[in-house]
Structure 1
Amino acid sequence: MDTDPARPSLELVRSVTDEHVLRALMRHRRLTRAELSAQTGISKPTAGESVRRLQERGLVVDTGERTAGGRGKGRVGSYYALSPRAGTALAVSIAPGGIAAEIVDAYGDTLARASGVVGRPAAPPEVAAVLTAVAGAGREQPDRPRLAVVSAADPVDRRTGRLVHLPDAPFLVGELDPVAVLGPHVAGPVVVDNDVNWAARAEREHAGDDFAYLYLGEGLGCAIVGGGEVARGRTGLAGEIAHLLTAGPRGHTTPFIEVFAGMGVRLPGSTAIDPAALLAATAAPAPLAAANRRLVGRAVAGVVAAIVALADPGLVVVGGAWGPALLDAIGAAVAEQARAVPLRKAEAKEPAHAGARQDAVERLRAAIVAG
């Protein structure tokens, strides 16, 4: 009997073959056995056996569509696709603008969508209630989503997935546990991360694998991407820059967030920055607007200097509601520093939700392949 440990077992070979077939169907949506063979480099009989196994597992179905065979055109071929029962994923965004949820399949298509409005600032019980409501977006689907991925506009505890309230956090007042709230609505894990981290992931397509993402909107945040991965820190609170010391009025050192308090551009009853008020202040009559633009540019440049000193990114991507609009003032101040770094505007659309949604699809595909 052949007992060579270097040779893969038949079970392993079949598992790898099935993975290739599933991933080919995820890319192309529907394929015949012959097309699967061409796409994967697997022989036609082996591809056919894989399709049979995957049908028995309920992961692949015959679509009922046939190739135009016969009369000299060759044998009629059957088209196969992923089964609707292969699974779905839930992608959720918790943000000041409201809560949005999507049910997505392994092709990345949206099967259902729901949204809800929350107060500003938001209290955890209110957010939990809306979150529960929108989580039912896919009730008409045959099965619960296999997993959920959540983007939250608040710091996230890396160990538990709970939202953490920090001083001057502009959105959620208190702590919220999305894992506990969404757990009953999905069959598997609930993954939670900060919205800026998800936005940085979405930006990788445009910025590459080594850059810093600076979010300048109602809240202030940063994500460092190295080797394609976002650095989250020991507890998950990396990138919380609101209280980083920087240049304030008259060159005095001050916490970053206090620069905007001094300008009077905070939202009433909130610690959040009012983007409209900030942009108006930097577009006021020329002398005042110019002074405000220089003030904001120097303050952001001080944050960029700290990022460059600690992380040495090759690029800083600036996103958020007001950051890109003031990129010229920020760039002028950064250019005066000893270690300047290229800056550019963020390109991804709805980046936080896009990043979470993309991750949900990738995790779903991996779960389907793993069985």
Structure 2
Amino acid sequence: MTTAGKVIVCKAAVAWEPNKPVKIEEIEVAPPQADEVRIKIVATAVCHSDLYYLLESMNKDGFPTVLGHEAAGIVESVGEGVTEFQPGDKVIPVFLPQCGECRFCKSPKTNQCETAWTLIRRDLMVSVQSRLSCNGKRLHQFAGTSTFSEYTVVHQTALAKIDPTAPLDKVCLIGCGISTGYGAAVNTAKVEPERIIAVDINADKFEKAKVFGATDFVNPKDHNKPINQVLADMTNGGVDYSIECTGKVEVMRSALESCVGSWGVSVIVGWTDLYDVAFRSSQLVTGRTWKGSLFGGFKGKHGVPGMVKAYQDKKLKLDEFITHKMTLDQVNDAIDLMKQCKCIRTVLTVCQE
């Protein structure tokens, strides 16, 4: 029986309030309206941005919500005016929309979209509109996606069509983490082949880091001087490129200071809007460059299919990132694993293809 044009009752993980476990609920997902697409989510991963929203920023005005933004699924139905997608298409939602028409979308200088922030409340990181509700109460749609749900509705500008042969339980990672990290290095920093030093206070990550090319591992806890001095000693004055991925302002400054003063490039990837980051102007005027990178500099609708192809061509690692596989019912366990730094990525099976 077709579900197009009808409300779908399905299962979702609802965060009713900040800093509390999410709860599996039956929710109602309304049909897509003009320029919208309703998707059956097949697989979704837990990203630290979900934890940040739930456990760190904790803006009460952003609750209740359905978290999740790193996912892959299948188009169930489309709203009026949607011609790019049709039922059955395999897709990846993207939290950074791409309208393709504004001056930002047409510029090679940025992956931002002027109209994107008309769809998302930047202060809360939720959609202006939401087709999700539970017991008559509207649920916020996190990052315009809300993929901790069997079904969700996204704007067509926030969706990328991918190869129909792609394994959704793997390529879901391209919806955020992989594209963000890879792109920050390749697109934003424009790194060159060289020594790669992984810095982390969790020594258990060293072996995994080597799988992805790290040549050295440094644990700041093993040293009695600042990490920037440790790296300067290792590299004759500082690294050429540093990429910060924690969202901690003190780490952002350390990453900047770790760069060689004359030409080093430091890229901020981690997200936070809770604190200001401080630095001295002398740390930049000598020649360092400080950059930010959102979604790795990729224009979502165009960049995501290319990353999927790179994985299929064995030029991009994805499987090695997945340390745990669970179901949507186990989402709180997956959140705890990431909170305790006991995983790289947990992929949740949501629906069968």
How does the TM-score come out when normalised to structure 1? 0.29
Question: Which protein is richer in helix relative to its size?
Answer: 1
Question: Which protein is richer in strand relative to its size?
Answer: 2
Rg larger in structure: 1
How does the TM-score come out when normalised to structure 2? 0.30
Higher RCO, 1 vs 2 (CA within 8 Å, ≥6 residues apart): 2
